[in-house]
Structure 1
Amino acid sequence: MALDKHSDTFSLQRRNQNGSTAPLTNWGFRNETDPLTDVLLGSPAHLFHRATSSLSRKHLREAPCNIQVAQAQHAELVSTYKHFNVNVHMLEPEPELTMQVYSRDSSVMTPYGAFITAMSQWWRRGENYAAIRAYEKLGIPIYDMVTAGTFEGGDFNVIEEGCVLIGCGDARTNEPGARQVAGWFEAEGWEVRLAFIDEYYVHIDLMVVPIAEKLTAVCLACTEPGIVEWLEAKGHEIIDVPFPQTMALGCNLMSLGNDKVIAPTSSTYLIDQLRARGFEVAAVETAEISKTGGGIHCMAQALRRGD
């Protein structure tokens, strides 16, 4: 019996090879700034501070992560989502998956289902399999799986409906992986922009993250001018996050929709700018957990957003 790729039933490849894949009925989202109803998080139960990037290596050398403090910070983050009535779904913790707390990287949710990425670092590759099991349990079909190269979810940045910015720093997401994913979404009729970034910045969501409709946090000091011009041509207002705060994951916020945002307490400039615009900002302390290599946006995979 042929699989019905138009249904929301779990399957391992829902993508229509020629494009025109039907959007899901119950899961997914049009953009990253509509009201968040469901989020996938990873547990820090087995968190281990590894040299995953230049920044995490620097912290490891100078002041390694206090795991118990990091776990407490993550618990506060979970409580914050629940405070805003977001349904929190957790990846099943596994002792071997020491970086699983960064749930954005092992998979990417789309309007058509989740796609499974291909992690660069050997100690993270098992997270992809855990993500498949999580989607099967939730009944969310897999759109497709990256096979051409490496790709991590922090490099898939939905700027607005039908428009994605894909980061390519080569060390984590490489060009073959980036172009494979780009091809999928171009076939679906999306506008796709590739951003070739220095591997020092790890993922594109270090420096560019949507906040609300036509409002985006960008670090102008490290973002290619062509990307900034592209955003501005689309009518996006840009809040320029200072470089030092960006490198402390200050751009790495999570939009909850309806002018509500979760941001790290260290991102004082961005928080002040958002509150001045009438946003409700939940400032969460994440400095200790972020020593291991990621921020609030990295630790969350939106599963469903409403109108």
Structure 2
Amino acid sequence: MNEVRKIDVDEAFTLKRRIEAGGTPMLNSWGCNNEYDALTDVLLGKPDHLRHLATSSLSRKYLRDAPCDVAVAKAQHKELVAAYEHFGVTVHYHEPTPELPMQVYARDSSFMTPYGAVITNMCNWWRRGENFAAIRTYQRLGIPVYDMVTAGLFEGGDFDIIEDGCVLIGCGGERTNEEGAQQVKAWFDKEGWETKLVYFDPFFVHIDLMVVMIAEKLAAVCLDTTPAEVVDWLRAKRIEIIDVPYPDTVTLGCNVMSLGRDRIIAPEHSRTLIEALKARGFEVAEVDMSEISKTGGGIHCMAQALRRAPL
């Protein structure tokens, strides 16, 4: 169901809500302060026009060895949508168009903050139209834009909120480059956030391939691939780490979506993580993402949280 929430007049749609010097007021009707409060609204992209393109090292590998069965991928996406609906999350969609075959990865073209959405600037030329389409989506939903990345490349999977007022910003040098990462970092420095910028090998695409928050003070992390400085930083914050094995990580097994209240959507093959979560009392919706993920992303990549309600 796509419904526009009633919002305050000062929270109406705008193309730039950010205050240059910082001190931008938080939204009341939309936004999220972290990755683990109760998810009420999520933005997805429909796979109507999905094609398997070479957008990353992972998608290129599958193009060579075992290309995606698009019909199966579309069925798997329906299962993903059903999981959100099962947990009572309102699902909103980008308007699908044939020119945007990778729009199913809704996190790439924007990311949500407590102050509004940020429109990114994607690496692949054939995906940059998704940024413009995202603006139309936020306008239709009545969600203001905080700002737009203009200094360089930046994709939403590299904005990894760790806890309220604290973000891990990834820079692999390809999908997100230093100019884009530094621009985003400067914005949130001015808002008074703690911002940790980390550089990593572009093979791993985005930082949310390796680090995803599960709940308050609990993260799924691939210790084999995540830079040691990030692991030390997380542990200094007393964040418990569930180690996701390398073979699971490179097949998007760490790329899960927290719904809050100890509920998770995870790819069914990520057995180590799933069993660790169940042992901690989490309710896990296990979804087969084996075909659709061949096109270059996982569950977290396919979803942009629009609103999370604090417990």
- TM category (shorter chain) comes to over 0.9
Cα root mean square deviation, aligned: 0.9
- Which of the residues 4, 10, 18 maps onto 1:15? 18
Work out whether 1:143 is the aligned partner of 2:146: yes
Q: Structure 1 residue 50 and structure 2 residue 53: aligned?
A: yes
Question: CA distance change for structure 1 residues 217 and 234 in 2, over 3 Å: closer, same or farther?
Answer: same
1:241 aligns with 2:241: no
Find the aligned partners of 1:97 and 1:7 in 2 and give their Cα distance. 32
Secondary structure at the aligned position of 2:272 is classed as helix
Q: Which letter does structure 2 place at the counterpart of 1:74?
A: H
- Aligned pairs for 1:100-139 (under 5 A) are 100-139=103-142
Q: Tell me the CA shift for residue 6 of structure 1.
A: 8.6
Structure 1 unmatched runs, 5+: none
> Which residue number corresponds to residue 63 of structure 1?
66
Deviation beyond 6 Å, 4+ runs, structure 1: none
Please state if 1:156 is matched with 2:159.
yes
TM, length-normalised to structure 2: 0.97
Aligned equivalent of 1:87: 90
Counterpart amino acid of residue 300 in structure 1: A
Q: Secondary structure at the match of 1:100?
A: coil
Alignment partner of 1:287 is 2:290: yes
Show CA shifts across 1:176-215 (max 9, x none): 0000000000000000001101000000000000000000
Q: Which amino acid aligns with 1:263?
A: A
2:187 is equivalent to residue 196 of structure 1: no
Deviation at 1:53, TM superposition (A): 1.0
Give the distance between the partners of 2:85 and 2:215, measured in 1 at CA: 20
TM-score normalised to the size of structure 1?
0.98
In structure 2, C-alpha distance between the alignment counterparts of 1:105 and 1:52, rounded to whole Å = 12
Q: Which runs of 5+ in 2 are unaligned?
A: 1-7
Q: Does 1:230 align with 2:233?
A: yes
Contact residue 6 and residue 21 of structure 1 kept, 8 A: no
CA contact (8 A) 1:286 1:295 kept: yes
| Contact preservation (8 Å) 1:6, 1:22 | no
Counterparts of residues 287-306 of structure 1 (less than 5 Å): 287-306=290-309
- The 3-state SS of whatever aligns with 2:153 is coil
Find the aligned partners of 1:271 and 1:7 in 2 and give their Cα distance. 42
| Count of aligned pairs between the two proteins | 303
